[in-house]
Amino acid sequence: MPSGPDNTHVIVFANEKGGTGKSTTAVHVAIALAAKGARVACLDLDHRQRTVGRYLDNRAQTIKRKGAALPMPVYATHDGHTPERFEELWNQLIDGADYFVIDTPGRDDPFARLAAQRADTLVTPMNDSFVDFDLIGQVDPETFKVTHPSFYAELIWDARKARARADGATIDWVVLRNRLQHIEARNMRRVQEALMQLAKRVGFRLIPGLGERVVYRELFPAGLTLLDSRFFGEMGLGHVAARQELREMMAALSLPEPQLPMFADHAAAGIVAA
């Protein structure tokens, strides 16, 4: 099924394992794109946790409370049950957007699978461990060589085939290594080598994500991101390093530039989809 209008790039964050920084990464990507003046829409498919929805609720309140012209996507949260509501929100949010960012639950979910099939860029964040690696591939316990892909890699393969049948398009699958340790470790090297092996077999790109930093959790109550530094007061070294991580991640995602004119006023409006 086609992802949407030719001028909308659909970015789906999906991982059936929780605790990978998926929602935090999705919010930062959405705000980073909106900060450039792009028209960004967000759909939160996790009606239980609703992390992206709550994050942007907090941001909307900060905008209202401080009168701040912060970049702000339009957004909504799905009810988790109704196909009709899913299609309604999808069509409502994608209309006129340069980028459409979807956050999915950290569990198997039919709407997450549907969103994956419509993705232009599919981002799977994972922590730097074999516990997380097991979702996409399995390794020999002695040599740590990849033995075969796991169920989730097969699920993405099926999504790619479905997308190709629907409109001939390809899905750019990106595995994003969040919470990387900042010191060299044997396990880190082994995970890296296994990921590189698997990337060649199943066809994903491997890029660095966001580190394990307290700053990301501190920003949530106000709905702020690392791009809103003027609200921090004095920036510490952790803030500076984290912001550089975000810049590097955005560059590595290699998202296309919007085809339509950018409207900064729209990006900063803080309109919430009904």
What does the pLDDT profile of the chain (274 residues) look like in tens digits? 344 556 899 999 999 888 888 999 999 999 999 999 999 999 999 999 999 999 999 999 999 998 888 999 999 999 999 999 999 999 999 999 999 999 999 999 999 999 999 999 999 999 888 889 999 999 999 999 999 999 999 999 999 998 999 888 899 999 998 866 554 577 788 888 999 999 999 999 999 888 877 788 888 999 999 888 777 666 677 788 888 999 999 999 999 987 645 444 444 444 444 3
Domain that holds residue 207: 9-256
CA dist., res. 119 & res. 135, Å (int): 20
Asked if residue 274 belongs to a domain, the reply is no
Asked if residue 90 belongs to a domain, the reply is yes
Asked if residue 75 belongs to a domain, the reply is yes
Q: Which residue has the tokens 């660095």?
A: 208
Asked if residue 270 belongs to a domain, the reply is no
Number of domains in the chain: 1
The predicted structure's pLDDT at residue 204: 95
The predicted structure's pLDDT at residue 65: 92
CA dist., res. 63 & res. 6, Å (int): 32
Asked if residue 79 belongs to a domain, the reply is yes
Asked if residue 153 belongs to a domain, the reply is yes
- Under DSSP, the state recorded for 257 is P
Asked if residue 97 lies in contact with residue 41, where contact means CB atoms within 8 angstroms, the answer is yes
Extract the tokens encoding 178.
């969040």
Residues 6 or more apart whose Cβ sits within 8 Å of residue 257: none
| CB burial of residue 130 (10 Å; 0-12, 13-18, 19+) | middle
Asked if residue 31 belongs to a domain, the reply is yes
Asked if residue 80 belongs to a domain, the reply is yes
Q: What is the identity of the amino acid at 239?
A: H
CATH assignment of the domain containing 219: 3.40.50.300
Is the model's pTM score more than 0.75?
yes
Extract the tokens encoding 240.
């500076």
Extract the tokens encoding 198.
């698997």
Q: Which residues pair with 146 in a beta bridge?
A: 139
